[in-house]
Amino acid sequence: DVAKGVEEQTEKLVEVCRMRNIPMIVFINKMDREGKDAFDLLDEVEQKLGLSVTPLSFPIGMGYDFKGIYNIWEKNINLFSGDSRKNIEDTIEISDLKSPELTKLVGEKSANTLREEIELVEGIYPPFDKDAYLNGQLQPVFFGSALNNFGVRELLDCFIEIAPKPRPKQSEERLVKPEEDKFSGFVFKIHANMDPNHRDRLAFVKIVSGTFERNKPYLHVRHGKKLKFSSPNAFFAEKKEIVDISYAGDIVGLHDTGNFKIGDTLTEGEVINYKGVPSFSPEHFRYINNADPLKSKQLFKGIDQLMDEGVAQLFTLELNGRKVIGTVGALQYEVIQYRLEHEYGAKCTYENLNVYKACWVDPKDSKSEEYKDFIRVKQRFLAKDKQNQLVFLADSHFSLEMTQQKYPSLKFHFTSEF
């Protein structure tokens, strides 16, 4: 974001990509608004996220003075007109930035500034190297305005050329390769009420190996039963269409009646379990209360489905059973409150809770005296997450450090996957 710079959610996402060794492309958004200088933003990405970057497009001006994007990758200019439906033909080839054609297009001042900035880019940042990108050692950067669909085509065109092919994925049992004949895939996202008129719920499945075919029975490994899917969907932005066959690397949306959870595995028959999507320790914590006792069933159903989507995390206190919602950003509480009321007909209120960090507890020996003492002494700070894993809700940095020192055999993790 050109105004806010690197946000908390981005830092979490980059951490997940590092854990999974996923190549990254950076898109700096909202260039049609006033904000930070492009070079300051690039520095912030490098310093805050620990990435090595190289721009493959560069903005011509910013905010009110935003003229367009110079595509370093393809050596052309896309002029900004505020029209959100730009055609490919609108781009203008500029093989030489010293050309007077550039001055005619953007004006003398903007042309001179762009020439200086591109010279600086070429002097400071390394040239793009596909192998370095695929190995996670270099991240290309693009600028644009997603709301206006501007600068997005440059990113997508480059993505098609440089993106890696589907990679092998480690399951608990073995390494699964994408070129294998047998289908396997896992649920990485669930979204309820995408169409409020139909109360539908979709499970998004990433295909790891083989091909997925419509109306063919597949094994739901956790339930141990076969399921058929008559209308699997493929998505592009807001558009969706039913597909008959999908391949390794594709993502399909399957209509779900409550069978799926994030991390569930589908196969042609082999029992394998892919490692789940990690949950990070939230930054904000609040008690959630039922504002209408007559709608308790709707509230609990809504909370359950929203947590399945990964909107936030739910913790249940061991001491009294109270529900705590943990989020990365404070705005998520408003989203949850709105969706509970408008999608499930349930109202809720929040109470602030003083929690510094949520740590997943991993005892070496659950029968040890040290672990029993920890449970007894810290009982009012303990909770269970949705997977029934024990979580320690530390109320301060000092409290967390003292607890770690007092109970050295216990491991405290800031992600749920360990």
Residue ranges and CATH numbers for the domains of the chain are: 8-162 (3.40.50.300), 179-267 (2.40.30.10), 284-413 (3.30.70.3280)
Share of the chain above pLDDT 70, in %: 94
Total-model pTM: 0.71
- pLDDT at residue 198, rounded to an integer: 58
pLDDT at 3 over 70: yes
In tens, the pLDDT along 115-149 reads: 899 899 999 999 999 999 998 889 999 998 888 88
- pLDDT at residue 373, rounded to an integer: 94
- Residues whose CB is less than 8 angstroms from the CB of residue 8 and which lie 6 or more positions away in sequence, other chains included: 283, 328, 329
- pLDDT at residue 2, rounded to an integer: 84
- Average pLDDT (316-344) is 92
- Residues whose CB is less than 8 angstroms from the CB of residue 195 and which lie 6 or more positions away in sequence, other chains included: none
pLDDT at 196 over 80: no
pLDDT at 254 over 90: yes
pLDDT at 210 over 80: yes
Length of the chain equals 418
Calculate the average pLDDT of the chain. 88
- Residues whose CB is less than 8 angstroms from the CB of residue 343 and which lie 6 or more positions away in sequence, other chains included: 192, 193, 196, 302
- pLDDT at residue 176, rounded to an integer: 93
pLDDT at 354 over 80: yes
In tens, the pLDDT along 72-115 reads: 888 888 887 755 445 444 667 776 777 788 788 888 888 888 88
In tens, the pLDDT along 25-42 reads: 999 999 888 888 999 999
pLDDT at 384 over 70: yes
- pLDDT at residue 88, rounded to an integer: 46
- pLDDT at residue 418, rounded to an integer: 44
Residue 245 CA to residue 251 CA, distance in Å, equals 11
- pLDDT at residue 276, rounded to an integer: 66
Residue 416: C-alpha distances to residues 4, 308, 332, 392, 404 (Å): 29, 15, 20, 12, 17
- pLDDT at residue 291, rounded to an integer: 93
- Residues whose CB is less than 8 angstroms from the CB of residue 285 and which lie 6 or more positions away in sequence, other chains included: 315, 324, 325, 326, 353, 355, 358, 393
More confident residue, 18 or 389: 389
Share of the chain above pLDDT 90, in %: 52
